Amino acid sequence: MATKILVVDDEPWVVQAIRSYLEEAHFEVVSAYDGSEALAQFGRHQPDLVILDWMLPEMDGLSVAQRVREISNVPIIMLTARVDEEDRIEGLETGADDYVVKPFSARELEARVRAVLRRSTGKTPPVLEVGDLRLDQAQRRLWVLGEPVELTAMEFDLLAFLMTYPGRVFTRLELLEAVRGETYESFERSVDSHIKRLRQKIEPDPRNPRFVLTVFGVGYKLAKEEG
């Protein structure tokens, strides 16, 4: 079942742009254009995450977040043009899990969505199985072709993230954001080293990988099927 995201903004073009990008990334998206509709949609669809504009008609984003927090711990990402520290603190105290400042890129928003979902509980299955790979996230154990394989923490987190979205291509910065919650351009190429060591441990032929594939000029993906 796809992760369901409620997108709330009073500008239809913003909602449509976010919807298009997130649906392409295999999320299910429902939408609302004011605070009252947002609460109605939340009750109707029970989303896994809420992307919520601060400035909304009828009921502002902070009030919506407060109402949501009374009944749910679902992650909330606030969209805002406010950049003052006091505003951010107010939002966090209200219950927001993260901020995205307008204007923003769709890629940045997707990366933050994935990071927040990863940090929240129960958003990914404890056991992931893709082809000949079986990964237990609770016990942090991996089996390849039925045989246990030991990984470092970074290798494990990278593989777990890729296995959560088989076939989806991620840049190096997106992988860093997903597994560490931050992006450091200076460390971008370190992902290559981790992927290289990961392949040496899980691939029957590391020079001709069949699990973790390179997408030249972009990044990496986990193969949906062997070959």
pLDDT band, residue 227 (cuts 50/70/90): very low
What's the chain's average pLDDT?
Answer: 84
> b vs e for 11-45, b when ≥16 Cβ sit within 10 Å of the residue's Cβ?
eeebbeebbebbeebebebbbbbbbebbbebbeee
Give me the sign of the Cα torsion angle 213, 218, 224, 227.
Answer: negative
Please say whether the beta carbons of 223 and 204 come within 8 A: no
Beta carbons within 8 Å of 215's beta carbon, 6+ residues apart: 169, 221
pLDDT band, residue 134 (cuts 50/70/90): very high
Residue 125 has pLDDT above 90, yes or no: no
Intervals of CATH 3.40.50.2300 along the chain: 4-119
pLDDT score, position 138: 77
Lowest mean pLDDT among 72-76, 83-87, 149-153: 83-87
HEC sequence for 25-59: CCCEEEEECCHHHHHHHHHHHCCCEEEEECCCCCC
Residue 124 has pLDDT above 80, yes or no: no
Intervals of CATH 1.10.10.10 along the chain: 127-222
pLDDT digits (tens, 9 = 90+) for 182-197: 554 545 667 888 899 9
Return the higher-pLDDT residue of 164 and 133.
Answer: 133
Report the interhelical angle of 61-71 vs 35-45 (nearest 10°).
Answer: 30
pLDDT digits (tens, 9 = 90+) for 16-69: 999 998 998 888 999 999 999 999 999 999 999 999 998 888 788 889 988 998
Lowest mean pLDDT among 12-21, 28-37, 111-120, 168-177: 111-120
Question: Which CATH number, 2.60.40.10, 3.30.2230.10, 1.10.10.10, 3.30.70.20, labels domain 127-222?
Answer: 1.10.10.10
- Distance CA(81)–CA(196), nearest Å, equals 40
Superfamily of domain 4-119: Response regulator (3.40.50.2300)
Lowest mean pLDDT among 88-92, 107-111, 143-147: 88-92
pLDDT score, position 97: 79
